Amino acid sequence: MSSRTRDKPSSTNALKRLTHELQDLDRQPCESTLHLGPATDSDLFTWEAVLKGPRDPSSPYFNGLWLLSISVPQNYPLAPPKVHFVTPICHPNVHFSSGEICLTLLSGEHWAPTYTLATTLGAIQQLLTSPGLDSPLNVDIANLYRENDSVGAEGLVRFWTGEKRWAGEGKAGWISERRPGTGGHLSESIH
């Protein structure tokens, strides 16, 4: 039996699950994102999201918007998606150059098939307010937090959150009117 034949049931299950998640997003949009959906109309295994910063105005990530790329494996939901930041972000658990995210959920350690792409994005949004300083991918910002230099750390984060805010790249640059909760012009959605 070829690997292509063996992968077919997993791939079929993943497609069914992703189609179901997309339908759920039509009914109940993801609260942690401005946009979450397939990057193209022809590939359900490649998604993108525009992650919103936390609602807390005291957070240095407040009002932030970041484009994330999501690669869904053929054996999803048994395996977690690969998610990385496309828009630069200054965060202890995000590699500054590659956008790689250090989150146990994404490594598979705490992944469960009950998680969805929307709940995964919610966990990433939560990471913005609760960084893990024990496993940083951005050692410089983690050291500022460890040394209790919150003025320096938050100033740097606020600079990058304001300066490098998502500005419309990717398919999400025009938020489709066909999806409830994500429709209209981008400028209408972020105010």
If phi over 0 gives left and psi between -120 and 50 gives alpha, with beta otherwise, what is residue 168?
left
Q: Cα–Cα distance between 191 and 142 in angstroms, integer? A: 31
Single out the catalytic residue among 102, 118, 128, 137.
Answer: 102
Q: Cα–Cα distance between 69 and 86 in angstroms, integer? A: 6
Respond yes or no: is residue 102 known to be catalytic. Answer: yes
Q: Cα–Cα distance between 112 and 34 in angstroms, integer? A: 25
Known catalytic residues are 102
